[in-house]
A = this chain, B = another copy of it.
């Protein structure tokens, strides 16, 4: 059966945050990514594919219809719609990563993969941080999204109520290499252009930073995803 106009309309609406929030649904493309979501706790809403390659119930569609619903230039066999889970209350973790308004989908995707790699099972995002169900984030996470719990919340409130020590990354912070870092705590990473906002800065207990080794004229700053990689490695590497 050919795909209906209403189906196309629904899927297109999920490209926008507003549509995703209204429908509580998001889109995953490609066989590998879809398999990872099928194997996770996420609940499938609808699965479209040009071939019967999944164990799950599949709506077989033509290549032409696939092109209609895909956001990719060269769509790859399948498009799936999953339900956005209800946000759980913040879980207790030893080491939490918190993002203060990270706006770039690619950066958030990389950061989610890093959480997965370094065993950070809880990522707390400010309400202004880019939506983790954004198609570009889904594409960049390569399934890590199924293994990292992400909570969007008022970051100021969350930090005020937390009993964990709060670390913030600043250009002038104490070197991450200069002393022992604890196994527990919250690490805050800031916005791409402005870093950590002043309302969050006042809640930070310890300012940390990645020292620059090159000459004084060196790169002014590292990309937030790259900086996150270095900081998580410094925290976790000590206890390997």
Contact = CB atoms under 8 A, between A and B. Distances in A.
Contacts of A119: 212-215, 218
Contacts of A20: none
A118 interface: yes
Nearest to A211: B240
B219 A116 contact: yes
Q: How many of these chains are in the complex?
A: 2
Interface string A204-238: 00000011111101111011011001100110111
A32 to B, nearest CB: 10
B215 A147 contact: yes
Interface stretch (A69-77, A79-87, A162-170, A175-183): A175-183
Interface in A71-124: 110, 113-121
A142 interface: yes
Interface residues of A, number: 40
A134 interface: no
Contacts of A143: 219
B240 A175 contact: yes
Contacts of A142: 219-220
Interface in A179-196: none
Q: Specify the main secondary structure of chain A where it touches its partner.
A: loop
B144 A113 contact: no
B237 A176 contact: yes
A117 B212 contact: yes
A175 B225 CA distance: 22
A218 B117 contact: yes
Given A214-B118, A230-B230, A236-B213, A222 B177 contact: no
A110 B223 contact: yes
20 contacts: A110-B226, A113-B226, A114-B222, A116-B218, A116-B219, A117-B212, A117-B218, A118-B213, A119-B214, A142-B219, A144-B219, A147-B217, A147-B218, A177-B237, A213-B240, A222-B229, A225-B226, A229-B229, A229-B230, A230-B233
Given A113-B226, A147-B218, 13 more contacts: A110-B223, A110-B226, A113-B222, A116-B214, A119-B215, A120-B214, A121-B214, A142-B220, A144-B219, A177-B237, A177-B238, A177-B240, A229-B230
